[in-house]
Structure 1
Amino acid sequence: MLRLRLLTWDVKDTLLRLRQPVGESYAAEARAHGVQVQPETLSQSFREAYGAQSRRFPNYGRGQGLSSQQWWVDVVKHTFRLSGVHEDRVVTLMAENLYRDFCSAHNWEVLPGAGETLSQCCQRGFRMGVISNFDNRLEKILSQCNLRHHFEFVLTSEAAGFTKPDRRIFEKALRLGGVPPDQVAHVGDDYTRDYRAARAVGMHGFLLRAARQGVEPEVPPEHVLPTLSHLLTRIEKG
């Protein structure tokens, strides 16, 4: 059995997922303002706008004087403009509404097995924290989805100043937890940002991967979680 004291968790697509594609949410907001745009168009525009903003202002513009709210509002405005919506007043209103909507459980849902797994980990005496490439809305979202109480700390990339896979966000989490890396395991769905990055600082890693997704060859089978409910078995076998 692995001698673990602390478990750290990724959030998006590990514990929570969007209830519907971004394009669907944006199209619904547009309809509420009498604007008709196809969800597929908005999804494609969002990918383009998000990618451009991330390259220009990494990590929500934290190092360049932007607030994450301004960063996101600009992404949403650009998404609508790329999709052919140009009336400034409506675009601004929709962007501000969507920023607020994505703070809540209205747009997020807990992945199957996540709540049960977190409860079982707490019952087994594991301390837990979050390491997520997310902005400062994450605390509220976790609370709204009834998961926040499981965690001693929630470390976002916006707060840390570094994004996964940068080792410094993991080192900051280790300081917050006060536990040496060989007694910590990180759980996430991304090979580079979660599994490999955690192992690079000496932590254990578990990679959440549905069977159909395939796994990088250097990940041993005992480190792969077909579902979150496999986690405690993997820890006990380790």
Structure 2
Amino acid sequence: MLRLRLLTWDMKDTLLRLRLPVGESYSAEARAHGLHVPVEVLTQSFSQAYKVQCQHLPNYGLEQGLSSKQWWLHVVMETFRLSGVHDDSVLRPIAEKLYQDYSSARNWELLPGASETLQQCCQLGISLAVVSNFDRRLLEILTQCKLQQHFEFVLSSEEVGFAKPDRRIFLEALRISGVPPWLAAHVGDHYVNDYRAARQAGMHSFLVKTAGQPAEWDAEVPKEHVLASLPHLLSLIEKG
């Protein structure tokens, strides 16, 4: 068993996930504004718009002077433009509403065992924190989903200025906590951004098993580092 004093957590698809696919949420909001855009079209358009935005303006365009809200409004509006809607007088209210909606617990749900696992880790005397490639809405989302009380601090890539897999975001978590890396571990669902990046910062790490993970990741992660479910973590750690 692994002795730990600090556990850092990814957020999206590790502790929380979207209640509905993005295409469904966008299509529903479009209908509320009198537009009918098929879910499958929006799904494909979002994937394209998001990928291009991440490539051209990584970490919410901070280095280019953007705010994460500006970054997201562009993604939403570009998603609809790629889907054939070009009237900005309609697109901007839709984008503003969706930006607010994704701050709400209505759009997020806990993964099975998340709350119970965090509570039991706290009872073991382990400090908990969030290290996530997310924007300034992260703390509000965690609060609305009743998870915030478990964490001593929350680091988003927008706040810190570094996005995973940059190990500096993990080093900042270690600095704040005062815990040496060999007594810390990170839990996440992405091999590069979570599992490997944390290990490059000297920490232990665990990979949450998801259906979409590439098969080659399995070969590179020891079985004892893979979590079939969040409660599985408790059998791998001991009191710090």
What's the counterpart of residue 40 of structure 2?
A: 40
Answer yes or no: is the 8 Å Cα contact 1:211–1:226 preserved in 2: no
Q: How far, CA to CA, are the matches of 2:211 and 2:29 in structure 1?
A: 35
Instruction: Work out the CA distance in 2 between the residues paired with 1:170 and 1:21.
Output: 29
| Structure 2 match to 1:76 | 76
Q: Which runs of structure 2 are paired with 1:56-205 in the superposition (5 Å)?
A: 56-205=56-205
Q: What's 1:226 paired with?
A: 228
Q: Deviations over 1:127-182 (max 9, x none)?
A: 00000000010000000000001001110111111111111111111111111000
Deviation at residue 211 of structure 1 after TM alignment: 7.7
Percent of paired sites with the same residue:
65
The 2-side partners of 1:65 and 1:140 are apart by 23
Structure 1 residue runs of 4 or more that deviate by more than 6 Å after TM superposition: none
Output the amino acid matched with 1:54: C
Q: TM-score, normalised by structure 2?
A: 0.96
Distance in 2 between the 1:137 and 1:57 partners?
Answer: 19
3-state SS, counterpart of residue 69 of structure 1: helix
Contact 2:17 2:110 in 1 (8 A): yes
Higher relative contact order (CA 8 A, sep 6+): 2
SS for the counterpart of 2:207 is: strand
CA distance in 2, matches of 1:212, 1:110: 18
SS of corresponding position for 1:109: strand
Structure 2 distance, partners of 1:56, 1:105, is 30
Where 2:135 maps in the other structure, the secondary structure is: coil
The alpha carbon displacement at 1:234 in A equals: 1.4
Aligned-CA RMSD value: 1.4
Q: Which runs of 5+ in 1 are unaligned?
A: none
Give the Cα–Cα distance (whole angstroms) in 2 for the partners of residues 2 and 37 of structure 1. Answer: 50
Q: Secondary structure at the match of 1:47?
A: helix
Query: Which SS does the other structure have where 1:7 is aligned?
Result: strand
TM superposition shift of 1:114: 0.4
Give the Cα–Cα distance (whole angstroms) in 2 for the partners of residues 88 and 128 of structure 1: 43
Contact 1:142 / 1:148 at 8 angstroms: preserved in 2?
A: yes
C-alpha displacement of 1:216: 2.5
Quote the offset at 1:218 in angstroms.
2.6
Contact 1:132 1:164 in 2 (8 A): yes
How many residue pairs match? The answer is 237
After superposition, the Cα gap between the structure-2 partners of 1:31 and 1:205, relative to the gap in structure 1 and judged at 3 Å, is: same
Structure 2 residues not aligned, in runs of 5+: none
Aligned residues of 2:121 and 2:234 also touching (Cα < 8 A): yes
Q: What TM-score, normalized to structure 1?
A: 0.96
Are the counterparts in 1 of residues 135 and 158 from structure 2 also a CA contact under 8 Å? yes
